[in-house]
Chains A and B, each alone.
Chain A
Amino acid sequence: MTTQPKPTTVLVRRHSLLVRVTHWTNAVSLCLLLLSGLQIFNAHPDLYFGQQSTFGHPWLGMGAYEHNGALRGVTILGPYVFDTTGFLGASRDHGVLVSRGFPAWLTIPSVRFLALGRRWHFFFAWVFAINLTLYLASAVIGGHLRRDLVPTLDQVKPRHVLHEIWDHMRLRFPKGEEARRYNVLQKGAYLGVVALLLPVMILSGMTMSPSLDANFPFLLDLFGGRQSARSIHFITASLIVLFFVVHMVMVVLSGTWNNVRSMLTGRYAIKLAPPPLPAPLGDAP
């Protein structure tokens, strides 16, 4: 019986200190921005496209009405109306159903308090924007963007992309040498978030400020109006939440502790296939 050489595990340096610090700063500020943002949304839980509001005709709206003495929450999406009692439109506040867009447990603060929600939102908007600027500047200058995030030519071949999607669907993730770099789906997702969704968040947020619109009139043209910007801000936030959910699932499925450790200490373990021939004695790994 021949003994199979065991695969060796090596710890590679995956994330720089700057990436780790900005990652967690980003995570905390995005979380607080989301919850305070939903408080702000609740002040007028209707979304429109264009420069102005077409009251009564939002493309997305939440509200409540009385039916047989009980409050019903509804969500309107285009031509569709959904009963969302208990979650959207009407939800419980201290056991009593009240009319509000998103429920108390999803807003900062839990009570309806637009002024305070704005204070939280605008403080962490600065934290978020400065953090993102720092990250993007270092990613471009330091080469992180080109080296780690932009897919290589062999990765963007349709055959490779399809193969990667098929592997992901079977929950098979790159191993060995291939695990040293991000796979093409990872790269696409990360790049889409840091280079598109997050900057769009900042720009669409700025477009909602009447003072910044005076300073940067092109913002209104970029998004097609203040109400469009408010809608795009909401849609982009939703896409970031979607990314977050997928991100969490993938972190867990592809090795929770290894992933978490790599974002804390920077070290990521990869299993390398055993060398075809036994290494000469005395050669330290």
Chain B
Amino acid sequence: MSLPRRGLLRGAGASLAALWLAGCDKIAENPDVVKALSGAEVLNRRVQRLLGRGALAREYTRADITPAFKANGTINPPDADYQAHVLENFANWKLVVDGLVERPLALSLDQIKALPARTQITRHDCVEGWSCIGEWTGAKFGALMDLAGLKPQAKHIVLHCADTLGGAKYYETLDVVDVHHPQTILAYAMNGAPLTIAHGAPIRLRAERYLGYKQAKYVMRLEAVDRYDHIAGGQGGYWEDQGYDRYGGI
């Protein structure tokens, strides 16, 4: 075959391939298609909660702890107010608990450390696919919310975070069914040492059984709400606003 003709065929092949890809993407990204596909997410949440909302994530031994636990997402918040707390070693830092609660609170780190605590060695599963094992010590989330007194109409807890990532403040939402799960804690220590900045100092959420993006770091405020569609992108979390599923259990 002559060279120009071969080039022509190759060009035609490449254009056809590009057309095919564009066509596939048109379907793959069509909002109605994506909406229909997202039905599976509701099914995942319902089925997995039906299978046992109290089930515990596996706990490991100290020997299993990952030597270099990967820190992902924000590893040092650029926000000025956060950096001011770092300079003061979080001495004036307070966790605000408000929204649909009987007694709004503002707790210091010492007050949080005085709450009933739990230590757990668990596996952190990133949505990207990797896993690391770490030991977390923190205040029981349920005990903290009992202190504030959740109002009956509260359905979710919004975790407002200190860090700005990609131009937006990080936040997450936790359903009230998970508030009293034994492994839901606000961790202030990791592998026996105070939480480092890379891993979310001074406190981060550990809700085992969920993917890494649900484990909000640099938590500043817990807001009990009955809906979250008015917050940021309205999908219930920083990554959720970018298309990730809010359930995050798979």
Contact = CB atoms under 8 A, between A and B. Distances in A.
Interface in A11-52: 40-41, 43-44, 46, 48, 51-52
Interface string A217-248: 10010000011001000000000000000000
Contact of B64 (A52, A111, A210, A217): A52
Contacts of A115: 239, 242-245
Contacts of B209: 210-211, 213-214
Which secondary structure dominates where chain A touches chain B? helix
Interface stretch (B126-134, B148-156, B158-166, B221-229): B126-134
A116 B24 CA distance: 13
B208 A210 contact: yes
A129 to B, nearest CB: 11
Contacts of A119: 34, 37-38, 40-41, 243, 245
Interface in A96-130: 104-105, 108-111, 113-116, 118-120, 122-123, 125-126
Interface stretch (B51-59, B83-91, B94-102, B194-202): B51-59
Given A105-B17, A123-B39, A53 B29 contact: no
Of the listed residues A105, A125, A214, A220, the one surrounded by the most CB atoms of chain B closer than 10 A to its CB is A214
Contact of A55 (B39, B130, B208, B242): B130
Interface string B39-77: 111011000100110011110100010101010000000
Nearest to A216: B51
Interface string A140-176: 0000000000000000000000000000000000000
Contacts of B41: 119, 122
A255 B58 CA distance: 52
A217 B38 CA distance: 27
Nearest to B34: A119
Nearest to A225: B131
Which secondary structure dominates where chain B touches chain A? loop
Given A44-B130, A109-B25, A119-B37, A213 B57 contact: yes
Interface in A187-229: 208-215, 217, 220, 226-227
B28 interface: yes
Contact of A52 (B52, B132, B210): B132
A204 to B, nearest CB: 13
Interface in B205-223: 208-211
A257 to B, nearest CB: 26
Nearest to A45: B129
Nearest to A92: B14
B70 A120 contact: no
Contact of B129 (A41, A108, A213, A214): A41
B28 A43 contact: no
Given A125-B40, A226-B131, A227-B131, A214 B125 contact: no
Interface residues of A, number: 40
Nearest to B125: A210
Given A43-B127, A104-B21, A212-B48, A122 B40 contact: yes
A211 B250 contact: yes
B210 A113 contact: no
B21 to A, nearest CB: 5
A214 B37 contact: no
B249 interface: yes
B1 to A, nearest CB: 22
A226 B44 contact: no
A89 B70 CA distance: 22
B123 A52 contact: yes
Nearest to B247: A211
B242 A43 contact: no
13 contacts: A44-B129, A51-B64, A53-B66, A105-B17, A118-B127, A119-B40, A120-B37, A123-B37, A210-B208, A211-B210, A212-B48, A214-B57, A214-B209
Given A44-B130, A214-B208, A226-B123, 11 more contacts: A52-B64, A53-B66, A109-B25, A111-B25, A115-B242, A126-B40, A208-B125, A209-B249, A213-B58, A214-B52, A214-B55
- Which are the 5 A-B pairs with shortest beta-carbon distances? A211-B249, A115-B243, A44-B129, A209-B250, A53-B130
